[in-house]
Structures are given as C-alpha cells and as structure tokens.
A and B are shown apart, each in its own frame.
Chain A
Amino acid sequence: MATELMGFEIGATSAWLVWILPFAAALIIPGIAKLSKNVTSNFSKNATGYVAIGFALMSTLSAASMIPIALEAGEIHNQIPWIESLGLKAGILADPLSIIMANVVGWISFLILIYSTGYMKGDKDITRFWFWMMFFIGSMQLIVLSDNLLQVFFGWEGVGLASYALISFWYRDKKKDHVGTEGRTVLGMLDYYSPTHAGMKAFIMTKVGDVMMIAGMLLIFLFAGTFGFKELIGDTEWAVTMTSQGLLVPAFVLIFGGAVGKSAQFPLNEWLLEAMTGPTAVSALIHAATMVKAGVFLVARIGPLVFALGAAGILADQFFEIVAWVGAITALLLATQAMVNPEIKKVLAYSTGSQIGYMMMALGVAGLSYQYVDGYTAGFFHLISHAMFKASLFMAAGSLLHVVGSRFMTDMGGLRKQMKKTYAFMWAAGLGLMGAPFITTGFWSKDAIFAAVYESGNEWAMPLYAIAVLTAVITAFYTMRMMGLVFFGKKSKHIEKMEEEGHHIHEASLSMWIPYGILAVLTIGIGLIGLSMEEGLHHTFVDYLENSFGIHTEHYAIEASILPEFLQGLNPVALGSSLAAFAIGAGLGYIFYIGRWVDPVKFVNSNIIFYGIHKFLLNRWYLNAIIYWCFVVAPLWLARGVFRYFEKTAIDYGMNDGFQKAVLWSAKVVQGTQTGVSQSYLFVFGAGLLFVVLMLLI
C-alpha cells in the first residue's frame, strides 16, 4: 500500500509538471533570448528553440509517466488552496481521459515544435514565437488536467490568447501573409484577411463562446457552490434543484457554447479559416493538439457527468441532442466547402472543423444511446487519430508552402517527383483522413462513429447516420482533390516561373519532414492494429466511466455476424457504408483530379446548377458575409449614428455649448432691462405702482 501511495504522490507531481513546465519555459524564454543575443555560435542562435523543445519533452515525459495509472483506470486528484475566501481550491485531476489527452497533446506538440525549428528558421521574431507556442501548450495542458471549471477557464482563455497572438504572429500584415483571394467580395464583404484581422476575429468569435461558457459555469457554481468536477459528481443535490427550476440543461448547453466557439462548430465556425494566416506550425498546433481539441475535450469531460445525472433520473437528453446536431451540421457544412476552396491550408482547416463535427456527433450520440461508452470511445478515438493525421497533413502542407511560396493549390501541381517524401507521407496521412479501409487509424475511428450512431437507436439516429456517411464521401473526395491538384498533373505556371528564375524545387529539410513522417507512419502503423487499439481504449473507458461516474456498461456476448473472423464485433452496416463512402468519394476524386478524365472547371461551368452550387460553396454558404453584416457592419453603423446624432448633439452640445449659450442669452435678456435711462425706470415703476393699486382696489 505504501508503494502505491508513493506512486500516487509522484504521479501528482508529474501531473502538475505537465502544465507548469511549458509555462515555465515561456517565462524563461525571453531571458534566454537576451542572454544568447551576444553569442554568435550556431547553438545559441537556436537556444530559445532548444529550451522550448527540452521543456516540452520533459512535460510530455511527465504525461507519459502517468500512462500506467490510466491503464489501471486509476486517478490522481490533488488539490492546493487557491481562493480561500470563497473556499475554492486549485487542483489537478489526472484520470484516464485526461492522461490520454495529455499524452496526445504532449507528443504531437513536441513533434510540431521540432518541425518549427526548421519552419521558422531565420524569423527575427523567433523568441515571441517560442514564447507563445509554449504558452499555448501550457494552457492546453492546464485545461486537460484541471480539476475544476474555473481553472479550466484560465487555460481556456490562455488558449484563446495564444491563438490570437500566433494567428496574427506576422503582425506587419504583409501581402504574402494574408489569406483569401485579393479583391474578391461576398455580398460586399471582402474575402481577404490580414493576419491581425484574423487574430482579432478568432479571439472575439471564440470569446462569444467563452461568454456563454462562463454563464453556464456560474449557473452551476451558484447552485453547487463549487466548480470541481469531483465535487459535482459526488453530491448531485444541486442538479435536482437546478432541474426543478429548469436550469440544468441550459447550464450545460451554455458550457457547450464555449466548446462550440473553441472547436469552431456551427455557428461560430468562421474564425477557423482566417486562422490560416498564422505560421503553419501554429495551424498544425491549433488543429491537431491544442485549441480546437479543447472543445471536444470539454464535452468529453462534462458529458459523462450529464449522462450520469441522467442515469440518476435527472434527464438532460436535450444537451446530447444539441451536441450531436451541432456536430452533424458542422461536419457537413464544412466538408462541402472543402471541396471547392483553392487554398491548401483552408481545405485542411475546413476538414478539421468537419472532423471535429464527427467527434461532437459521436459524443452527443453517446448520451442518447444505451451504451454510453460506445460513442464516447468512438469520439475520443477519432480525436486521437485525427490529431495524428491532421498534424502530419498540416506540417506537410507547410513544407509545400515553404517550397512553392504560394498558398494556392493551383500554383502547385506535379510535385510528386521533386518532393517524394512529402508526397508519400501526405498520401499516408491523407488516406487516414479519407478513412482508407483496414490500414489507417482514420478508418477505424470513423467506422466506430458510424457504428455508434447507427446503433444508438434514438429517434435521430437515421438522419445523423445519413449525414455522417455523406460527409465521409465528401471527405474522401476533397482529400483526393487536394492530392491531385498538388502532386499530379502538369507543373503550374507559378512553378515553371520559379524554375526559370533559378529556384530549385526540392524536398523540405530534415527537421521538417521527420515530424510529419513519424505521424504519417503512425497513422498507418496504428491503423494496422486499429481494432485492438480501439478495444483497448474501450476497455479503459468502460472502467473509467464505471469508477468515476458509476456509468455501468453491459457486456454482451458478441453475436456471430456475416463478417470474416478478424472483423468480428464490428457492425456490418457501418462497415459497409464506410467502405462504400470511401470508394465513391475517392473514385470521384480520382476521376476528376488524378486520372483527370473530366476537367473539373469545364464540368462546373457546364451547367447552371453546378455553377450555382460551386459558387454557393465557395462563398462559404454566405455565412461569413452574413455574420459580418449583422455583427460588424450593423453595430458599427448603429454606434456611428448614436455618436453623431445623440452623443455629439443632444448630450455634448445640449449640455455643454448649448447650456452655455442659453445662460449667455438669458444674461443678455436680463442685461436688456438695465438700460440706464431714468425715464424708462420711472415709467416701469409707475406702471407697477398703478398695477398694485388697481389690484388692491379690485
């Protein structure tokens, strides 16, 4: 027992270190930069980078040291005093969910940091870059390991702040750092964004979500008197009171609002596209490890709590319905737009939003089905596999940008010969995104989501399932499109021009391709053992939900199905549609973009309907423009009107100059009576006397 106790104490320290170390690195990085400024050796030039990577590695190793605890479904809960006057404590809660998440975040970030040493080489603001990267990672790990919502909110806003700083990292707004097509407008709104605009947009838009989240948090706090996850599940009296006032579901939905903002779900999805103005390493971090995953994690954090309340008779089904539907709408909405966008990073960004939508759908459906753990595992498994392949894809895309010097896929083309490694790795990761059968992690996790949705047996199962499958078709299609445009076909004019000017198109440097190579290989490598991986995760979560939330999972004997031996246990319908979706999507993509049997431009222009759809999708369903009209243009117009016609006139003139003039005028009137002519004084006096006498007589 003593050793176990010892082990847990060490575990607590490492859990704290996981998030403290990145912050510590962020704090010392400016100092290191100052110290190494005057030393000119090669090492000192990159000193800040080495410090960052070293601290990130230590933090990640601390996270890794906790894996055994996760596998035993144990947990570490450690608290220290914080705001004593309100009885609030700070603490860490390392349970299987957060330990696995901390490892995903840690390892992916570590690889991205290594990639950054190559990608950001020679940038003169490199110190600022490392500072914010470490701040970003620290904030994310804080979200993951916190034991209460208030502390989560610190990390939550830290993530927002870091994303603001990193998206507008190139704050000088040079032309090459913009996203969108110059001069293009949608409904009168420019579709062309500078980094500083994009950063601001991301921060404000996610803040809208954060505001909802804080409202939800406060609601729960006021009834429960605590923000702590353990305390909330410990005594559920607060939930009964809240339900009786009809506030329980609103509170959780408001908290989910925070997740909608951070994870770029509909209707707060539009910031994610402009976030592409950041350096690609940042995009990879935002999309794979930190920012957008925070929302999914939050839902995974509170979802079991809501479900456990439901099991205790306090029903909150609407919460799960909303989560599932928001996820489904986002998945389809963003996938459709990825089909037409010409910028490689934007395609990947759309794809992220869409895949996060899958995760949300799974986590939502979980709460609507009998077996909570199925959807829960599926969603979380998809989070892990998505983190791997999307980080890899982004980093590879960064290499392409680096080499080609353009963000447009139309400026690439035919690159498969010059950039063989990137080509191969992008295929591996891209197949993961498409869900290539049996060999990629993406296939298994997506299949698990399909199965969870299909088997959930609630009233929404079929429409949600249809959306999920349709989105899978589209996903396969746009991934093929991306691969085709970048690597196949003829060289673009842009590349030809570059080569004429003497630029040699070459493979990215070692520090760049190794990180995405590792992740691409893992996508396939883990994919090969994907089913057993999923089962392992399932098993861990069954224990976790049982121990922490009392959510009991029934064990069925697996019925024999028509599937072959090694696929036993899978749902045949889900498997079939997953295979079909891949085949249709990839096939269409092949026809248009790799085989190039049909010219997509001619195809779109052949028919007014196709043309209209294309334009609709390219204009982002007009959502972005509508949001700008309603929440930027209209309020500014209103504020200007009030400023001009109320503040400047009624208040400013009325109370200052106008008042002054009125006083002066009345003074003049009074002055007018002081004529100094004695006759007129006598006359007035006489008239007054007469008046008084008359009054007295009457």
Chain B
Amino acid sequence: MEYALLQAVVLPLLLAPVAYIIGRKAGPTPAMWFTFAILLYTTILIINAALSGTVEEHYPWTSQFGEFGFLMDGLASPFAIMIYVLSTILVLYSKPYMLHIFHHQFEEEQNINPSASGQTSVIESSALSNYVNTKSGLYFALYLLFAMGMLGTVLATNLIEFFVFFEIMLIPGFFLVALWGAGQRRKIGLMFLFWTHSGAVVLLLGFLMIGFTVGSFDFADINESEIPQDIAMFSAVAIALGLGVKLAVFMFHIWLPYVHGAAPTPISALLSPAMIGIGAYGIFRLIVEFLPATFADLAIWFYIWGLVTMIYGGAMALMQDDIKRLLAYSSISQMGYLLFGIGTISVLGLTGAEMMYVTHAIGKGILFMMAGVIIVKVGTRSISKLGGLAGKMPITAVCAVIGALTIMGIPPTSGFMGEWILFAGALETAIEEGSTLRAVGFGLGLVATVLTMSYLLWMLKRVFFGKTPEHLENVKEGSWYMTAPMMVLAGFSIVLGIYPDIFYKTIIPYMSGVLGV
C-alpha cells in the first residue's frame, strides 16, 4: 500500500485533536473507540508493510536536513509492530483505569474548593461528567501523540528526523505523567523531562558531529570511513550516553523508578516496555549499523555496562514494596539484557537483544496491567498489604504468571526465545575471542536470570498467594476492558515462544547483514 508508513505516523498526529473533541463532546467511551480504531488501522498498516519485507518511503523536507523518510526493515519492524500493538490494546485498558483516576482527582479538587460543595447532587454529577469528558479527550489526544512519537523514532531515516520524533514522544509523556500521575506527579514529570531531555541533548551533540562531518543528516549518506576515527568515537560515545538515559542503564536509571511508578498505569505499560527500549533501537541503528568499527571497540563496554545493569536492577527490584517501582527496577534490569546482547557483537546475541525487546514488551506490558488492575480494584500498590489475590482475580493472576514467566524466560513463553539466543551469542563471542572476561560475563548473566526469577516469583507469592488479608475479602476481578488486553498479550507470548520465527525471520538476516557474516 502506498503511503502506508506515512499514514501510520501522521494519522494519529492529525486525528489527535479530533479525539480531543470527541472526548469533550461525547465522553470517554466514544473517544476510546475512536482512538482504538485509528491505532488498529495503523497497526494493520504496519503489520501489512512488515509482511511485504523492507518498505521505504521518502518525502521532501528542508534542504538543510535532507529527506523526511520512513524505513521499515528487519530491525525496525519488530520495534514498530510491538509499539503499535501495545498502544492499540492499551487504549482499551486505558478507559477503566483513567476513569478511576479522573474520579479520584475530581474528588480531590472538590475537597480543595469547598465552594462547590454547596451545589445539589445533580449539578455535581453533571460537573463530574463534564470533567471526565474533558480530561478523557485530552488523555486520548496525548496518547495518540505519544504513540506516534515512538513509531516515528523507529521509522526515521534522518538524524534530525530521529531527534524530532525522539523529543515528540517526550512531551506528551511529560504531560501524561504530570497531569494524571500518582504522588508528586508534577515534580516527577519534570524529573522525567529534565533527565530524558538532557540525554537528548547529548544525543543531539553526537548527531551534529556526525552530520557536519559527513555533510548530510540522511542515514543513507552516513559512511563510517568518511568520518575521522576520533570524531566517530566521540559521537558514538555521545549517542550511547544519550540513549543510555533513555534505556535507564546503570547510573542513568534513577528517573525511571519514579516515572514508571508515578505514571498512570497504561502509560507505564507503554513507557516501560515500548519507550525505553527505543534507546536500544537507537544503538542498533546508529552505532551498530552506521559506525561498525567504532562499535567493535565499544562493544565490550556495552557488555559490561549491560551486565552491571542486569544485576543491579534485579537486586534493587528485590527491595521494593511498591509494585510498580518493583516492575520499574525490573525494566532497568531487562534493559541491561538488551545492552548485554548488543555488547556480544554476534548475530545470535544481537538477535537475542532485539527479541528481548519484543518479549519484554509483552511480559512487562502484562505485568504493568496487572499492577493497574490491583490499583483499581484493591486501591493499594504496596505489596505488603496484598496477598492471596489469586482466588479473587483468577484471570489477572494467570496472566500475571504468564507475564512473569515471559520476563523470566521460561518456555513456552517468548522470553525463552529471547534469552537462549542472547546467551548463545554471548558464549559464541567468548569462545571465539577466547576471552575470560566475556566468559565470566556469560556466567554472571545466567546468574542474573536466577535473580530475575527470584524477585518475580517472590512478588507473585506476596501478591497472589498466601493468606488473604481481611480487607481484601471483597475484591473483584477487573473488567473485560482490563483483562482482555492482558489475555491477548499472554496468548501472543506463548505463540511467539513456540514459533519464534515470526520475528527471527526478519531480525536474523538484518543482523547478519550488519555484522557482515
């Protein structure tokens, strides 16, 4: 189909105001279905494009920056598909969760303005519905922008274009957190903005160095042999640091537990699995593909940095009581796997790293949704106040177990298909180079999987099993809007775990091409 990628990126942008108006005039349900329809259509476009192989589209832009293009190849398609699939199903999930938040905030504001309390209940309820309509319109509009920004980033074919989309996804993200987050949401929203923006600035520095040296910002024009070695190294390091903030690797990770903990849960479920992994996409595209010689020098550092992040994130996850913060630390640890895989410089390892993005998107998506169901239905997010929920919310419990297994990498979930190939790659390089450091890293990486398993099983035990505290006696299962998305992802995890070729088929040829094997 012509203009498929353009439509997929631009439609949500153009229709976001419409979503706002629909929300405002007609209420949250029509706005939700409208948003869902747009994203479903664009997701089908994306999947359709992915099935037909590599798709490339180019459109004129300014003469200074080059072309505005979209490219979906073996690297971009798994990212693009996961981003839109998640965005689409999370629209459904958003409605009940956000209504919960809107009602809460409405009550809070009522309490702050006692002047409103004298009104009759009829006026109050109409005030509430007006409030909810406006807010849901705004929410879905921002949601569309957010999804569009993520997709644009992974499809961009130009450094400046990449940067623009990279920043576009940040802004709606900031508003979503600052408006409807939990706790000190404005402060945390700002923290998110500052951290990721600082990262983006460093990233831009790297882009400019490359762009001015090469004389063009188009991906197609970047050729490592034209770039002096030290400039290539400087820009690669700048890009890695900039993207490292997005990936929340060790030392740059502190914003993530705050933001993912505070963000409204559907947004956490997009931020954590889909957005932060885009940092890994950037490393693949910009460093592995465009600066291969520099990458070969840096790889061992990625490997070690990834390993440290894996273990550190897992160890910190053990110490959390807030369920969403636990999952956030788990995301940090999982991003470590991605970086670790990139550091292996082998086809298997790189493929594993990209598969880890896909399976982490599935698994962590499910787990964040699980946390959301608990927040809505139980009203607490503190693990120590939970227990024995498996009997009360069986569907959520089953999905959460599948999600946890996906993160742990237990077959037949997709996690295993990411993990074994990742570690095969790590071992392959260790043997080929005869490197003890890499071999030890491989061993510690495997130990980290046991750590991952420990904190997830422990969480499941404390949330779903054991005795049910008295105050949880009347807890009910979440609505279909909330459980169905989890079930879809859980099913997808198992399908992919049994038949991983869905993504292997596109990733492996790309990685072999990039590494020149």
Contacts and interface: CB of A to CB of B under 8 A. Distances in A.
B461 interface: yes
A204 B501 contact: no
B405 A161 contact: yes
A214 B412 contact: no
Chain A: interface residue count, which band? 35 or more
A229 interface: no
A248 to B, nearest CB: 13
Contact of B457 (A82, A203, A656): A203
Interface stretch (A216-224, A290-298, A334-342, A402-410): A216-224
A86 B254 contact: no
B319 A643 contact: yes
A85 B450 contact: no
A171 interface: yes
B254 A655 contact: yes
B423 A214 contact: yes
A179 to B, nearest CB: 16
A656 B252 CA distance: 11
| Consensus secondary structure, chain B interface | helix
A168 B460 CA distance: 12
A84 B508 CA distance: 11
Interface stretch (B5-13, B110-118, B465-473): B465-473
A200 to B, nearest CB: 5
A652 interface: yes
A158 B411 CA distance: 7
Contacts of A154: 411-412
B466 A173 contact: yes
Contact of B504 (A86, A158, A222): A86
Contacts of B170: none
Nearest to B458: A200
Given A85-B505, A203-B457, A215-B443, A172 B466 contact: yes
Interface string A53-84: 00000000000000000000000000000111
A196 B388 CA distance: 10
A64 to B, nearest CB: 27
B501 A639 contact: no
B106 to A, nearest CB: 30
A638 interface: yes
A640 B317 CA distance: 10
A446 interface: no
Contacts of A196: 461, 465-466
Interface stretch (B131-139, B337-345, B424-432): B424-432
Given A157-B416, A204-B453, A655-B254, A85 B501 contact: yes
Interface string B427-470: 11001000000000011001101100110011001001111100
A232 interface: no
A565 to B, nearest CB: 54
A82 B461 CA distance: 35
Contacts of B420: 150, 153, 214, 218
A265 B446 CA distance: 21
B336 to A, nearest CB: 15
A420 B420 CA distance: 53
A535 interface: no
Contacts of A84: 501, 505
B517 interface: no
B366 to A, nearest CB: 16
Contacts of A197: 461
B341 to A, nearest CB: 14
B484 interface: no
A161 B398 CA distance: 13
A157 B446 contact: no
B299 to A, nearest CB: 18
A172 B443 contact: no
B99 interface: no
A173 B467 contact: yes
Interface in A611-644: 635-636, 638-640, 642-643
A230 interface: no
A687 interface: no
A470 interface: no
Contacts of A160: 410
A640 B501 CA distance: 41
B108 to A, nearest CB: 25
A651 interface: yes
Nearest to B320: A643
B304 interface: no
A259 B116 CA distance: 69
A647 interface: yes
B484 to A, nearest CB: 16
B461 A157 contact: no
Given A84-B501, A85-B508, A200-B458, A218 B427 contact: yes
A27 to B, nearest CB: 11
Contacts of A85: 501, 504-505, 508-509
A592 B40 CA distance: 75
B39 to A, nearest CB: 29
Contacts of B427: 215, 218-219, 222
A194 B462 CA distance: 12
A163 to B, nearest CB: 12
A526 interface: no
A171 B465 contact: yes
A233 interface: no
B191 interface: yes
A366 to B, nearest CB: 30
A643 B450 contact: no
B44 to A, nearest CB: 24
B318 interface: yes
A172 B388 contact: yes
B468 A172 contact: yes
A215 B446 CA distance: 8
A647 B316 contact: yes
A204 B454 contact: yes
A302 interface: no
Contact of A639 (B316, B411, B428, B468): B316
Contacts of B453: 203-204, 207
Contact of B316 (A83, A172, A643): A643
B433 to A, nearest CB: 13
Given A197-B461, A215-B443, A222-B427, A638 B315 contact: yes
A157 B411 contact: yes
Contacts of A150: 420
B367 interface: no
Contacts of B123: none
Contacts of B447: 211
A583 interface: no
Nearest to B442: A215
Contact of B449 (A173, A211, A635, A638): A211
Interface string A160-197: 11001000100111000000000000000000001011
Contacts of A207: 449-450, 453
A214 B466 contact: no
A86 B355 CA distance: 14
23 contacts: A82-B501, A85-B508, A86-B504, A86-B508, A150-B420, A157-B410, A161-B410, A168-B465, A171-B464, A172-B466, A173-B467, A204-B450, A207-B449, A211-B450, A215-B423, A215-B442, A222-B424, A642-B312, A642-B315, A643-B315, A647-B254, A656-B191, A656-B254
Query: 9 tightest A-B contacts by CB?
Result: A171-B465, A196-B465, A639-B315, A643-B319, A85-B504, A154-B411, A211-B446, A218-B424, A85-B508
Interface of B: 191, 251, 253-255, 258, 312, 315-316, 318-319, 388, 390-391, 405, 410-412, 416, 420-421, 423-424, 427-428, 431, 442-443, 446-447, 449-450, 453-454, 457-458, 461, 464-468, 499-501, 504-505, 508-509
Given A85-B508, A219-B431, A638-B315, 4 more contacts: A84-B501, A200-B461, A222-B428, A656-B255
Interface of A: 82-86, 150, 153-154, 157-158, 160-161, 164, 168, 171-173, 194, 196-197, 200, 203-204, 207-208, 211, 214-215, 218-219, 221-222, 245, 247, 635-636, 638-640, 642-643, 647, 651-652, 655-656
